[in-house]
Chain A
Amino acid sequence: MTTVQIHIPDEIQRRYRSDHPLRRTGLALFGIGLLIFVVGATGIFSTIPLLYSLLSLGLATTGALLFIIPGITERKPGIDNDGIMFRPMLNRKSVAWLTAIVFTGFYVLLYWFPSSLEHMVVASDPLSWALRGKAADRWFLYGTLYTLAVLVMGARMLIKYRHSRYHIIRTLSVMFFQLVFAMLLPSILQLFNQPEFYFHYFWPLKYDYLFPSKITFLLENSTRLAVFMGFWAIVMAFIATPILTYFYGKRWYCSWVCGCGALAETLGDPWRQLSDKSLSAWRIERWMIHSVLVFITVVTLLLWINSATEGAVLGSFSYSFSRIYGFLIGAMFAGVIGVGFYPLMGSRVWCRFGCPQAAILGLIQRFASRFRITTNGGQCISCGNCSTYCEMGIDVRWYAQRGQDIIRASCVGCGVCSSVCPRGVLNLENGPVSERLH
């Protein structure tokens, strides 16, 4: 049997590249900023933090924005996926692998070779002093880069989906939570000598928030705010999360609030089509994500048993177990693979295969939630745009062409399937649980 292949010649790839002067300028500035940032690793800018900060982070951010802005005039509002399948960066070609290596490499340095970033941390010093009243550390640098990525690429999302209020509002939401809840609020807490706390992260994603050491520290703290934080951590994990997920599906968190989701929905958006839609990927996904959930649950329980028995039963075993989780899941999976593999496996590798929070929310969504993606009668033409652009690897078309609602644990409710559907077939809706069409 001969295989049918559609060959896209190189000259077409060039046609898709915009030569808008702003884009070229932007790209140049971004490159220069990045270069200066990297050169800073040698320490030559360590004595001039403000200048280093402006020339690296400032220039790169400005450049990226200039690169993005022409999108407003280049195309009319509407779905703009032209040429996505022709672009090497978005189709696992060399440049994508290179990017993945750079991303991954950064995380490896960040987690295990922090001294190599010692001088680059200086780039976020001025901001750190302004917000927290102290010098930056590597985690502050990381937070700064993360937030900048969400904001800049968030701007790109706002332009790309400017015809859709759903996307505008949810993008503004993740940008807000990243900027305020992940960046500003924890910094200000530190400025006032309060515990560093992220109100938008809960157990089990932020697993230590229910570890006995943390909870005890918060609840037995002398300040009321810390006690509130302790209660917040418990209430959110056990009460608010299930209730919100019952009413709105896991999207209230995964594509509206969560920081990992924020990065996936902004920086990761260009790679969303790379998620594997095969049945085998789905099978692997279910095994992995639920194993991680069991893992962290066991770790947490062991720590509590340990704490209750004052180490009599388990000794130091539970601690080393939690350290293994921290290394394997917290650092390796969530960071290195989760973001590093964006250009190879799509934007939701961590959310799909590893996140225990997503696992819990997914179970609620699958079995006890009012959320579903409704299929509009017989309008589906099986074109496959929905499946192609599902970042969670759901074969949406499978359900849509059978007239079934999509009720999948993994759906984060980003709404892109509904937007790219050319026939108005899909809609994210909340309604009576009993009437979801399986």
Chain B
Amino acid sequence: MTQTRRDPDTLHVVIIGNGVAGVTAARHIRKGSAAAITIISSESDYFYSRTALMYIYMGHMTFEQTKPYEDRFWEKNRIDLLRDHVTHIDADAKQLRLASGDSFGYDVLILATGSQPNKFGWPGQDLHGVQGLYSLQDLQRMEQYTRNIGEAVVVGGGLIGIEMAEMMHSRRIDVTFLVREESYWNNVLPPDESAMINRHILSHDIRLHLSTELEEILPDSRGRVRAVKTKTGEEIPCAFVGLTAGVHPNIGVCEGSPVTTGRGILINRYFETNIPDIYAIGDCAEFISENGTRGRIEQLWYTARMHGESVAGVILGRRAEYDRGILFNSAKFFDLEYQTYGDVPSDVRDEDSLYWEHPDGTRCIRIVMRDGVVTGFNLIGMRYRHQVCERWIHEERPLTYVLEHLGEANFDPEFSHQFEDRLIGQWNERHPDQAVHRVRRRGLRRLGTSAYRHIRENATS
């Protein structure tokens, strides 16, 4: 898969998809070259933040405010935006066929087509009033479907599920939340954190049904959803059903083209597909695994951003293998903020983790270790510094070191209560032989030049 070296300035780079992956790629190609750049999207005229869809529905923001760049940014940076839908890729002729009937040529093609909500063949899944939530069009439909309704059901125990529940809750719609697992998001969260979220969901008057699977969605005489039926035979009346059982790569654009796909568009660690000059990034891409297992698909906001930046480097001739570094993520479940750094397995063994929970049950700290070395953090109701946690994990710091310096990681606002001492107290009580003393409270101090250099390098612009 050797690609001939060309002057990037002479290329026409076409990007399908104006989500964060595609847009980041475009911005970085522009920063490093004078290439012609076109972004094609059938979803929206301008890049908007998909993560903010829920805030539009809840009335926290307008659609305009979800756009990270002013409209004139694109013209100023000579990034052409085309509102159309690519129906076919002619890889030999390097031509795209568009839904409008036009053809569009490219020198380099980046596929950044994102995801689609999963549907598992449930009877009634295509009824009026049943949908997932991924795109702007989904939000528009949800706006119509949920207008003036009283009851809704959300199926699926992940991040979008709880978002949809929160969205409808904000409009005083009664929500029943069906979760297949015995506890919310317990394939990601350890039992304590998962239980905390369960309680929080219930405290917002969401009817949380755990260990409950959807059997079918029942229509009324006009083909609209009337109720859902669970595997136990229970019927729950509702006028809207949100299907949020995950997403899968949106790879329809590759049909009829020689680009090979598995679950997603197959790429190597340089985002190269099997066809020269065609790359795939973001949610739609699947890394070819080296040992025959399922390839990795990265569906996070920041990984999409990193993909975009990395693929730009590859196209501009700085061919470096993609390394996403130490994992991190965050979410907000109603009012509970969640942050995670490093590796926190949902089935982490008690002896491998130190867990402290506030008596009010809305905050917790979990530090995970392997052989006495800290490998991960989970925080709920608290904020920790990304750089500090990452550095400790990278430097393989022992738990006692991390505990002593834990104040350094605290990123909570000024005047908020600090709980590191409680965690340390709990540790000291159980391990008097390895008792530690907190070295410092939270607050900025010299985090070390290396940490700052690291952030500078990671600053994506």
Contact = CB atoms under 8 A, between A and B. Distances in A.
Contact of A376 (B143, B171, B411, B446): B411
Contact of B59 (A7, A8, A387): A8
B20 A382 contact: yes
A190 interface: no
Given A424-B411, A428-B413, A437 B339 contact: no
Contacts of B383: 376, 424, 427
Contacts of B305: 378
Contact of B147 (A4, A9, A16, A378): A9
A85 interface: yes
B355 interface: no
Contact of A379 (B140, B171, B328): B328
Given A383-B52, A388-B61, A424-B383, A6 B416 contact: no
Contacts, number: 184
A381 interface: yes
A390 to B, nearest CB: 11
A1 B302 CA distance: 29
A73 interface: no
Chain A contact-residue range equals: 35 or more
A430 interface: yes
Interface in A240-291: 278-279
A354 B276 CA distance: 57
Given A4-B44, A384-B66, A437 B455 contact: yes
Contacts of B415: 165-166, 169
B60 A15 contact: no
B60 A82 contact: yes
Interface in B325-340: 328, 330-332, 334-335, 337, 339
B51 A86 contact: no
Given A4-B44, A401-B460, A166 B339 contact: no
Contacts of B302: 378-379, 381
Contact of A85 (B62, B337, B384): B62
Interface in A77-93: 77-79, 81-87
A376 B415 CA distance: 18
Contacts of B70: 278-279
B443 A431 contact: yes
Interface stretch (A64-72, A205-213, A414-422): A414-422
14 contacts: A6-B143, A81-B60, A165-B413, A374-B411, A376-B383, A377-B387, A378-B458, A381-B49, A384-B68, A385-B61, A398-B68, A403-B459, A415-B413, A423-B330
Interface of A: 1-9, 11-12, 15-16, 76-79, 81-87, 163-166, 169, 278-279, 374, 376-379, 381-385, 387-388, 397-398, 401-404, 415, 418-420, 422-424, 427-432, 435, 437
Interface of B: 20, 43-45, 49, 51-52, 55-56, 58-63, 65-68, 70, 83, 136, 139-140, 143, 147-148, 170-172, 203-204, 301-302, 305, 328, 330-332, 334-335, 337, 339, 383-387, 390, 411-417, 443-447, 452, 455-456, 458-461
